[in-house]
Amino acid sequence: MSSPVIDVQDLRKTYGLTVAVDGVTFQVEEGEIFGIVGPNGAGKTTTIECLEGLRRPDGGKVRVLGRDPARERRQLAVHIGVQLQESALPDRLRVGETLALFASLYPRSLDQRELLVQLGLADQVRTPFAKLSGGQKQRLFLALALIHDPTVLFLDELTTGLDPHGRRTVWELIRAIRARGKTILLSTHLMEEAEALCDRVAVFHRGRIVALDSPSRLIARTVGNLLVTLRIPDGSPVPPLSAIPGVRGVEHRDETLTVYAEDDRAVAAVVQRLVEQGVPLRELGVSSGRLEDAYLTLTGTPLVREES
């Protein structure tokens, strides 16, 4: 059995009296898209920066491609690509110049024009950094992480600032990168992104991993079998539903009624009860649940939603 591409054992990092990462252990296999999910302050960025060699752990063991990032960062640099959560470039540096500069730092690089086309930046080759939109800047930093065709890619808050179309374009690119045999570790507070991309997900909460599994298995073991989402007019009285056999929980917020049900019979009973009570149903959806629901169950902490 081959060694994991990333091996983290009992990682610890503190800042004064604040414990940022508290005994984290996980492995990432070759060709895997591995996600670290959680809100800001959960320890995601600190963990990734220790893997990149940007921070030295206070305890534990970290290995990337068999090397210690803190001691062998230079040797690792040509094999890893890094997109930081926050980055900046000189205002007057143009997109094409930036990519050419970074390509010159490595012994090999991808076709620059093709990469810009894939990321939707072909028309911005001569645009100065200061004139780019927030989403364009984010895509440029992703291009810089990819330019030398790394074996392992670290992405911290991959699609922050992108609109839904741009986000899905980047998702397709990430899937194509993995299809070429690359290993990807990404952090995100967007559960939809983790559910769409990741083979496995580590749920971070207050510096610790509280669960680690595939998105589907996390959902199955925490949320229940079925998630019923109903749209009803705001202010409509909702009859008691929790006592219906097979109903595990009910949430009512504005025009959205969410019911956690064990099986189809419970779903049918809920709909029948609402119809009998004269509650207008504008929309009805039934699914196996969402990763965000699993996260809430595991941590009891709501995520801050990104505005788009």
Which neighbouring-strand residues pair with 247? 261
pLDDT of residue 225: 66
Please give the Cα distance from 85 to 141 (Å, whole number).
10
Strands 208-213 and 200-205: antiparallel
Which neighbouring-strand residues pair with 128? 94
> Which stretches of the chain score pLDDT less than 50?
305-308
pLDDT of residue 223: 67
Please give the Cα distance from 303 to 192 (Å, whole number).
12
CB 109 within 8 A of CB 147: yes
Tell me the two tokens of residue 22. 């508290």
Token pair 């997900």 is found at 201
Q: Which residues contact 245 (CB under 8 A, 6 or more apart)?
A: 265, 266, 269
Please give the Cα distance from 254 to 258 (Å, whole number).
11
Tell me the two tokens of residue 80. 């890893």
pLDDT of residue 306: 42
pLDDT of residue 224: 61
* CATH superfamily ID and name for 6-219: P-loop containing nucleotide triphosphate hydrolases (3.40.50.300)
pLDDT of residue 308: 32
pLDDT of residue 262: 80
Strands of the sheet containing 6-15, edge to edge, are 18-28, 6-15, 59-64
Please give the Cα distance from 276 to 114 (Å, whole number).
59
CATH topology of domain 224-287: Alpha-Beta Plaits (3.30.70)
Q: What digits encode the pLDDT tens for the residues 163-222?
A: 888 888 888 889 989 998 999 999 998 888 998 899 999 999 999 999 999 987 888 777
pTM of the full predicted structure? 0.78
Give the closest residue to 115 by CA, choosing from 86, 144, 137: 144
Residue spans per domain, the chain: 6-219, 224-287
pLDDT of residue 216: 78
